[in-house]
Amino acid sequence: MKTFDLYEDDHYYFIVSEYIRGGSLMKQFKENGKPYSEWTTYLIVKQILEALVHIHSKDIAHRDLKLENIMFVSTNKNDFNLKLIDFGFSEQFDR
């Protein structure tokens, strides 16, 4: 997820980020009403693992990986492009 700007006042931080239209993986599971095909599941799991490999290569551990933190980019039911969000519990680690 792209972050464009960060503002703060005496009490809060405000983050301006891209709008991800498709909703969470959890929401899609609930709305789909049937299991994903083997191929669709492969596409989803592959992207999740690629995202984890990428952040781990930057020495970052997400630490809050769950269906609600995996978002579909598009509302198109045939578009399975995903983004990993919510790095609030993430930490940098030493190798």
CATH superfamily of 20-92: Transferase(Phosphotransferase) domain 1 (1.10.510.10)
| DSSP 8-state secondary structure symbol assigned to residue 64 | -
Catalytic residue among 9, 10, 59, 64: 64
The per-residue pLDDT for range 33-84, each reduced to its tens digit, is 889 999 999 999 999 999 999 999 999 999 999 999 999 999 998 899 999 9
- pLDDT band for position 12 (cuts 50, 70, 90): very high
- Is pLDDT of 95 > 80? no
Q: Where are the domains of the chain?
A: 20-92
Give me the residue label for tokens 């929401």: 27
pLDDT of residue 47: 97
64 a catalytic residue: yes
pLDDT of residue 77: 87
Looking at beta carbons, which pairs linking 17-21 to residues 24 or more positions away fall under 8 Å?
A: 20/71, 20/72, 20/73, 20/83, 20/85, 21/72, 21/73, 21/74, 21/75
